[in-house]
Amino acid sequence: MDDFTPEDDDVELASPTAVSDGHVGGVVSGDHQTPASPKSPVPLHTTTSASRYPQHVTPETVLGFTEPTQTFLCPLSANKHGFDFHDFEIKDYSTNESIFKVSKPANADADSDLPDDEDMDATFAENPHLETAVRTVKYTFPKRVLRCAQIRTALTFSIGDRPASDFRLIERHYFKDTLLKSYDFTFGFVIPNSTNGWDAIYGVDREVMTPAIERLMVAEPFSTTSDSFYFVGNDLVMHNKAAYAYT
């Protein structure tokens, strides 16, 4: 079996591309078609962490993007609900073959030397290029994964003391500046201090994912990217980025 390897040591803290219908063990297909609309906005770059990000980004905002965002649209500290990802797995839906799996180390939360989100935001304000390096995960998959008709994902996540209504993920996949696919999943209400399982099925549009596009994706590593936007209601609470290579 070919190896599926992440290119970042902190994959477990980055963008797990998995969602479902809000029921533990449930599965949902999240295909979402959107018309062409204005390009992604460019957030302000200033020396203060708060003013580096747009004031309010809604689901409708990101559903209108036609290319990847140039920067992140919310700080790490926007995660006021304390969402935390523990386990993430990707499988070929047809064969149930595990493509990729990662788990958060059991003692990760006990490391008191790690800076908190607000400290990291302040560091990123001083060095925006560092934010891109830290908050973007690179994955390397064998090229045969591009031929999977459907991908199934499973995510285990927890939440802090605050309940979350209408927890939602919108995920946009691109090759360079071309939108390949948009996925829109809703979990719904998340009970405070709970740990939840969230499964999903990702469909592939063969009218877009042509053999010619697949060849380009293989020939140009990490030109295939995704933006993952997590919302509670209309509030953006997390924004993660990923880049992919196929060998």
Rg (CA), the chain: 17
Token reading at 101: 């799996």
> Which residues are within 8 A (CB) of 194 and not within 5 positions of it... i.e. 6 or more apart?
158, 159
DSSP, collapsed to helix, strand or coil, labels residue 163 as coil
First to last CA, the chain: 13
What's the mean pLDDT when you consider all of the chain?
83
pLDDT at 33: 43
pLDDT at 9: 36
φ, ψ for residue 7, nearest 5 deg = -105, 15
Instruction: Say how far apart CA 41 and CA 174 lie, in whole Å.
Output: 16
pLDDT at 26: 35
Instruction: Say how far apart CA 240 and CA 138 lie, in whole Å.
Output: 12
pTM of the entire structure?
0.80
Q: Give kind and range of the element (H or E) at residue 212.
A: helix 211-219
List the chain residues with pLDDT less than 70.
1-51, 109-112
Distance, CA of 46 to chain centre: 25
The single residue listed with the structure tokens 């070919």 is: 2
Residue type, 236: L
pLDDT at 106: 79
Q: What is the pLDDT of residues 193-231, one digit of tens each?
A: 999 999 999 999 999 999 999 999 999 999 999 999 999
